[in-house]
């Protein structure tokens, strides 16, 4: 069984569109994340979220917003897509990030390659 | 603020030889340190971590890493490289004393090429 899954795997869209990427984890973890990996493979945290707190990397444009319908899901919504948003987006999860276990490793999904034309 | 540096974009090693992938970090408090590996078109996989205790940490696939507080380093090592170890390796740090949530900061990655 896949621990952290993302859909779609590939997403090609036009500038200005609004799109969403879905993420689900079946590990029972309480914290989920979104990362952006650019063309040079540099990996950058975008959001950290659990049922108590959303932590946003201050460099992330407000066109990006996470939405969590429940503890097992954290979807990424992107409004008014720009060329520079083209990247691979990774979802990840971990357990007890804020309640005694910030040393726990994160489990990553397979990634969603977003191409903005 | 926390940061990680991986000074080598690429490391080349012959199969059977030992390998080292370098990582140095900067945190204001005490660090949690991690190594992840990324194979082509895949997500990151956890290899090992340092939290506290013994400075030499053993992880998956025969990899190990040594925490050196005085040099603020956490180099990844393996005694005998395999061609299948060829991948992109990321070092990551979290400041255990000064960071909300579980925000990891990753290094820029080092591509390991193991040649037969």
Q: What pLDDT tens digit does each residue of chain A (117 aa) get?
A: 669 999 999 999 999 999 999 999 999 888 899 999 999 889 999 988 887 678 777 789 999 999 988 889 999 999 999 999 999 999 999 886 555 566 788 899 999 999 999
Q: What's the pLDDT at B100?
A: 58
Q: How far is the alpha carbon of A57 from chain B, nearest alpha carbon, in Å?
A: 9
Indicate the residue of A42, A103, A108 with minimum beta-carbon distance to B44. Answer: A108
What would the two tokens of residue B9 be? 């974009």
By the 8 A CB rule, do A63 and A36 touch?
no
Indicate the residue of A43, A45, A104 with minimum beta-carbon distance to B103. Answer: A45
A108/B106 Cβ within 8 A: no
Q: Rounded to an integer, what distance in angstroms lies between the CA atom of residue B70 and that of residue A50?
A: 35
Total residues found in chain B within this entry: 116
Q: Rounded to an integer, what distance in angstroms lies between the CA atom of residue A102 and that of residue B96?
A: 7
Q: What's the pLDDT at B91?
A: 97
**Does position B94 have pLDDT exceeding 60, yes or no?**
yes
Q: How far is the alpha carbon of A22 from chain B, nearest alpha carbon, in Å?
A: 15
Query: Nearest CA to B32 among B7, B57, B8?
Result: B57
Q: What's the pLDDT at B23?
A: 98
- Cα-Cα end-to-end distance for chain B: 41
Q: What's the pLDDT at B42?
A: 87
Q: Searching chain A, which residue's CA lies closest to the CA of residue B96? A: A102
Concatenate the DSSP letters of all residues of B94-111 into one string. EESSS-STT--EE---EE
By the 8 A CB rule, do A33 and A43 touch?
no
Q: What residues of B are in contact with residue A94 (Cβ under 8 Å)?
A: 102
A108/B43 Cβ within 8 A: yes
Which residue of B3, B44, B97 to mutate against A (max A Cβ within 10 Å)? B44
Q: What's the pLDDT at B41?
A: 83
Q: What's the pLDDT at B30?
A: 85
By the 8 A CB rule, do A76 and A64 touch?
yes
In this predicted structure, which of A50-64, A75-89, B11-25, B38-52 has the lowest mean pLDDT? A50-64
**Does position B55 have pLDDT exceeding 90, yes or no?**
yes
Q: Apex CA B80: angle with CA B76 and CA B83, to 5°?
A: 95
Indicate the residue of B38, B96, B101 with minimum beta-carbon distance to A55. Answer: B101
The reply to whether omega before B91 is within 30° of 0 (cis) is no
Query: Nearest CA to A117 among A15, A10, A8?
Result: A15
Chain A contact for B96 (CB, 8 A cutoff): yes
Q: How confident is the model at residue B99 (pLDDT cuts 50, 70, 90)?
A: low
Report in angstroms the alpha-carbon separations of A39 from A88, B50, B100. 8, 29, 28
B109/A41 Cβ within 8 A: yes
What is the 8-class DSSP label of residue B30?
P
Mean pLDDT of B37-45: 91
Query: Nearest CA to B19 among B55, B71, B63, B84?
Result: B63
**Does position B96 have pLDDT exceeding 80, yes or no?**
no
**Does position B113 have pLDDT exceeding 90, yes or no?**
yes
């Amino acid at each position: 069984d896949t621990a952290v899954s993302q859909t779609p795997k590939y997403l090609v869209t036009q500038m200005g569109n609004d799109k969403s990427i879905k993420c689900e984890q079946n590990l029972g973890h309480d914290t989920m994340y979104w990362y952006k990996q650019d063309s040079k493979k540099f990996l950058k945290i975008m959001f950290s979220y659990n049922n108590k707190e959303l932590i946003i990397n201050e460099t992330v444009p407000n066109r990006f917003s996470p939405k969590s319908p429940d503890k097992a899901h954290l979807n990424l919504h992107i409004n008014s897509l720009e060329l520079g948003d083209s990247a691979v987006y990774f979802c990840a999860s971990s357990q007890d990030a804020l309640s005694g276990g910030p040393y726990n490793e994160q489990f990553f999904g397979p990634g969603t390659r977003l191409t903005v034309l | 603020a926390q940061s990680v540096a991986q000074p080598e974009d690429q490391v080349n090693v012959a199969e059977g030889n030992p390998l080292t992938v370098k990582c140095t970090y900067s945190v204001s408090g005490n660090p949690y340190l991690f190594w992840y590996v990324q194979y082509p078109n895949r997500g990151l996989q956890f290899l090992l971590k340092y939290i506290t205790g013994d400075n030499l940490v053993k992880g998956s696939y025969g990899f190990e890493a040594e925490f050196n507080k005085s040099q603020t380093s956490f180099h990844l090592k393996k005694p005998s490289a395999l061609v299948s170890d060829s991948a992109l390796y990321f070092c990551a740090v979290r400041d255990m004393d000064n960071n909300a949530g579980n925000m990891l900061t990753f290094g820029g990655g080092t591509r390991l090429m193991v040649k037969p």
